[in-house]
Amino acid sequence: MTIQIPGYGEITLRHVVLDYNGTIARDGALLDPLAALLPELSERYRVHVITADTFGSVQAQLEPYDTTVKILTSEDHTAEKAAYIDSLGASHAVAIGNGNNDAAMLQKACIGIALVGDEGCSTRTMHQSDILCKDIADALGLLLHPKRLIATLRR
């Protein structure tokens, strides 16, 4: 999807990269709003979920949805998440997360969205983001209703 943002520029978004726990899941279980939002999001973007899968539940939780799941395997999750954004083409990716290990991913992405949800948000991640949202429904709403994104980012 190509979006013209006054004073910010034209961006073409293809990928949405979502952290799992703290962003779209709590204690390994997908948050309620995602059941309605993921199918619509997947119609417009390639949706990726990146996680250490702490609770071992991500595959089962996301099985009904058209998503690509990336399980982190390195000792440095921060660098691995940032490298994943690079592999997709950072200029075409939106990244959403809340944890300290999401900061570099949000900074590299064309648009980085930090969430201050039930688990809070790392201040490092918040400072590396372009947008700060209070929950995942609001963050995904920006992508599903681009005029909201334009209103937030225009200069």
Residue 61, pLDDT score:
96
Q: Report the distance separating Cα 97 and Cα 23, nearest Å.
A: 6
Domains of the chain and CATH, by start: 2-153 (3.40.50.1000)
Structure confidence at residue 20 (pLDDT): 95
22's torsion region: left (phi>0), alpha (psi -120 to 50) or beta?
left
Confidence of residue 118 (pLDDT cuts 50, 70, 90): confident
| Number of Cβ atoms within 10 Å of the Cβ of 87 | 11
Q: Is residue 134 pLDDT above 90, yes or no?
A: yes
Burial group, residue 56, by CB count within 10 angstroms (0-12, 13-18, 19+): exposed
Is 90 exceeded by the pLDDT of residue 78? yes
What is this structure's pTM?
0.96
User: The tokens of 154 are what?
Assistant: 């225009």
